[in-house]
């Protein structure tokens, strides 16, 4: 198996999970049509969120005998599934890996941003012990709006209920029994926007969810709202986000993902000039907190990812079904 976009943490669990009979070829660049030639001799490729597995890339992989594209993530918006189906290439993902890791990171971002811990950390290190400008608000009693009540959204909802927040949610496939049990109310998206002091996105990126946060939706939000996105960058129109920050409509924005993150996130660009003007602008706001797609990065999640990927690889070798829920084609 050729493993693309390998980072040091990928080496922690994957070799053991794949088993001794599997030859893993770790590559530190992304898979795309331009690099697909490096899959020569591999029966499977293992990819992550920013590899570009479009039709041409899949054609190139199929012509080299690749039978499986194993995503070591949940989202699959970067793979042309229809083309894979036509070419007979199996595509698997990791359907569940510690959703707690992602939900807990959303909470880490929310608390840090609201209580301005990122700013006080820097101040105190400079021996500036002033509290000027660091006022936050109690989460207790405030309203959180969860967009998408799947695995991650549900865990976040429960954590925020634990803080004493009122939680409202929107999902086109609601689960009223779950909501009743957890004391959560489903509302329509406009009501969610107008009620919430905190809005957190937990939906997959699809044609329907692309830019669900845009000028019109931001205009419906409560002034001063904190927006959290640990799902996919394409859910938010970044230009509209910057306008909302400049006008003050948005009180704070915490992001673990960004629509143009490919080639930037996961890389050490500290010695270079940042070419992305929108990202550079966002980094100038004191009330914007950005992490570089690290919500999944816990030992538990990495272990789950490696275990499911390794099992699917063994399933390919032994001709048995893939892990339940992981096959996309």
Active-site residue set: 232, 261, 293
Which string of DSSP letters, residue by residue, matches 75-123? --TTB-HHHHHHHT-EEE--S-S-HHHHHHHHHHHHHHHHTTHHHHHHH
293 touching ligand NAI, by CB under 6 A: yes
Q: How far is the CB of 76 from ligand NAI (least distance, A)?
A: 8
Check binding of 310 to ligand NAI (CB under 6 A).
no
Residues 203-222 that bind ligand NAI (CB under 6 A): 203-205, 208-209
DSSP 44-84: EEEE-TT--B-HHHHHHHHHTT--EEEESSS--TTB-HHHH
Query: Rule CB under 6 A: is residue 159 a binding residue for ligand NAI?
Result: no
Residue 232 binds ligand NAI, judged by CB under 6 A: yes
**In this chain, which of 83, 112, 153, 192 binds ligand NAI, going by CB under 6 A?**
153
Residue 231 sits in the site that holds ligand NAI (CB under 6 A): yes
Q: State in angstroms the smallest separation of the CB of 129 from ligand NAI.
A: 34
Point out which residues pair with 79 in neighbouring strands: 53
> Does 92 sit near ligand NAI (CB under 6 A)?
no
CB 34, CB 11: distance < 8 Å: no
- Identify which of residues 188 and 268 has a Cβ nearer to ligand NAI in the complex: 188
Contacts of 214 (CB under 8 A, 6+ apart): 236, 237, 240
Tokens 């929107």 correspond to: 170
Measuring CA to CA, which residue among 250, 147, 149 is closest to residue 191? 147
| C-alpha–C-alpha distance, residues 189 and 170, integer Å | 6
- Interaction of residue 148 with ligand NAI, rule CB under 6 A: yes
Q: What CA–CA distance (Å, rounded) separates 112 from 117?
A: 5
Residue nearest to ligand NAI (CB): 150
Residue 122 CB contacts under 8 Å (≥ 6 apart), including other chains: none
Phi, psi torsion values for 321, nearest 5 degrees: -60, 150
305 sits near ligand NAI (criterion: CB under 6 A)? no
Q: Residue 107 interacts with ligand NAI (CB under 6 A)?
A: no
Contact residue for ligand NAI among 13, 72, 93, 202 (CB under 6 A): 202
Binder to ligand NAI among 3, 66, 147, 213 (CB under 6 A)?
147
Site size toward ligand NAI, by CB under 6 A: 29
Query: Of 254-283, which residues contact ligand NAI (CB under 6 A)?
Result: 256-257
User: Interface with ligand NAI by CB under 6 A: which range of 82-90, 113-121, 229-237, 303-311?
Assistant: 229-237
Q: Which residues bind ligand NAI (CB under 6 A)?
A: 74-75, 99, 102, 147-153, 170-173, 202-205, 208-209, 230-232, 256-257, 293, 295-296
């Amino acid at each position: 198996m050729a493993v693309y976009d390998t980072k040091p943490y990928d080496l922690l669990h994957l070799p053991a999970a794949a088993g001794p009979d599997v030859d893993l070829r770790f590559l530190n660049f992304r898979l795309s049509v331009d690099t697909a030639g490096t899959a020569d001799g591999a029966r499977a490729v293992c990819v992550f969120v920013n590899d570009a597995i479009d039709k041409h890339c899949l054609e190139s992989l199929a012509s080299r005998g690749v039978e499986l594209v194993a995503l070591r993530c949940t989202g699959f918006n970067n793979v042309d599934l229809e083309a894979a189906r036509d070419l007979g290439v199996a595509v698997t993902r990791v359907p569940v890996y510690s959703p707690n890791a992602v939900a807990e990171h959303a909470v880490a971002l929310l608390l840090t941003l609201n209580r301005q811990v990122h700013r006080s950390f820097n101040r105190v290190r400079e021996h500036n012990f002033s509290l000027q400008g660091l006022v936050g608000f109690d989460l207790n009693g405030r309203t959180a709006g969860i967009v998408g009540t799947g695995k991650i959204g549900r865990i976040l909802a429960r954590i925020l209920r634990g803080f004493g927040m009122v939680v409202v949610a929107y999902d086109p496939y609601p689960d009223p029994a779950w909501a009743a049990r957890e004391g959560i109310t489903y509302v329509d998206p406009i009501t969610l926007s107008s009620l919430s002091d905190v809005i957190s996105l937990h939906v997959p990126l699809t044609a329907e969810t692309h830019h669900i946060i845009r000028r019109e939706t931001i205009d419906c939000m409560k002034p001063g709202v904190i927006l959290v996105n640990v799902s996919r960058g394409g859910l938010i129109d970044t230009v509209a986000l910057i306008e909302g920050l400049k006008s003050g409509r948005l009180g704070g924005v915490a992001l673990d993902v960004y629509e143009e993150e490919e080639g930037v996130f996961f890389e050490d660009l500290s010695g270079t000039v940042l070419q992305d003007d929108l990202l550079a602008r966002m980094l100038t706001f004191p009330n914007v907190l950005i992490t570089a797609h690290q919500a999944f990065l816990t030992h538990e999640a990495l272990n789950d990812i490696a275990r499911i990927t390794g099992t699917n690889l063994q399933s390919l070798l032994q001709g048995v079904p893939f892990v339940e829920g992981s096959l996309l084609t």
